[in-house]
């Protein structure tokens, strides 16, 4: 991620917003068709990247799961709805 966009991401105050933006950004980088995708990312690496605790990342993951935006099993994150993720950051 470019430095300016990473700083902008870290300036977002809500952890769930940060996580949703991070997931969408990773999806854009690995999937040029912008369709729902899946990828592996350990929670501790996400937490380090976003400047959050692992516990906060887990709570945000659970909120996005409850909203049916993502599913997750171990380190595999699957995007179920790009629209719901996008709504989480607006």
Residue 36 has what pLDDT? Answer: 59
CATH of domain 3-89: 1.10.10.10
Residue 63 has what pLDDT? Answer: 97
∠23-41-11 over CA atoms, to 5°?
A: 45
Q: Which two tokens stand for residue 81?
A: 């709805």
Segments in the chain below pLDDT 50: 1
Residue 11 has what pLDDT? Answer: 67
Residue 43 has what pLDDT? Answer: 96
Residue 34 has what pLDDT? Answer: 57
Using only C-alpha atoms, the chain has a radius of gyration, in whole angstroms, of 12
Domain ranges for the chain, please list them: 3-89
∠17-20-25 over CA atoms, to 5°?
A: 120
- Residue-wise pLDDT tens digits, 12-24: 679 999 999 999 9
Kindly report the pTM of this predicted structure.
0.82
């Amino acid at each position: 991620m470019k430095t300016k966009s990473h700083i902008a991401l870290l300036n977002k105050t809500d952890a769930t917003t940060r996580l949703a933006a991070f997931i969408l950004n990773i999806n854009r980088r690995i999937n040029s068709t912008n369709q729902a995708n899946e990828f592996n990312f350990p929670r501790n690496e996400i937490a380090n990247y976003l400047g959050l605790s692992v516990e906060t990342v887990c709570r945000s993951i659970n909120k996005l799961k409850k909203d049916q935006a993502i599913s997750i099993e171990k380190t595999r994150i699957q995007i179920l709805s790009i629209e719901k993720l996008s709504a989480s950051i607006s």
